[in-house]
Copies of this chain bind each other. A is one copy, B any other.
Amino acid sequence: MLMAELSRRSGVPVATIKYYLREGLLPAGQATSATRADYGEHHLRRLRLIRALLEVGEVPLAEIGRILAAVDDESASLHEVLGAVQYALGPHLAPPTSEDPYWQSASGEVDRLITDLGWSVAADAPARTLLTGTVAALRRTGSAPAGAGLRRYAEALRALADLEVASLDAAAAQGAGDGQDRPSRASYGASAVVGIVLYERVIIALRRMAQEDASAQRFSGG
Contact = CB atoms under 8 A, between A and B. Distances in A.
A160 B207 contact: yes
A201 to B, nearest CB: 4
A154 B209 CA distance: 9
Contact of A134 (B134, B157, B202): B202
User: What is the interface residue range for chain A against chain B?
Assistant: 35 or more
Interface string A119-152: 1111001111011011101101111010001101
A79 B222 contact: yes
**Interface of A (DSSP majority class):** helix
A1 interface: no
A210 interface: yes
Contact of A120 (B203, B208, B213): B213
Interface in A167-222: 167, 169, 171, 174-175, 190-191, 194-196, 198-222
B213 A52 contact: no
15 contacts: A49-B141, A82-B211, A82-B212, A82-B219, A119-B209, A119-B212, A127-B206, A138-B202, A143-B191, A149-B163, A152-B160, A152-B163, A153-B202, A156-B156, A165-B214
- Those 5 A-B pairs whose CB atoms lie nearest each other, nearest first: A131-B205, A127-B208, A161-B210, A52-B137, A119-B213
Interface of A: 45, 48-49, 51-52, 55-56, 58, 77-79, 82-83, 86, 91, 93, 114, 117, 119-122, 125-128, 130-131, 133-135, 137-138, 140-143, 145, 149-150, 152-154, 156-165, 167, 169, 171, 174-175, 190-191, 194-196, 198-222
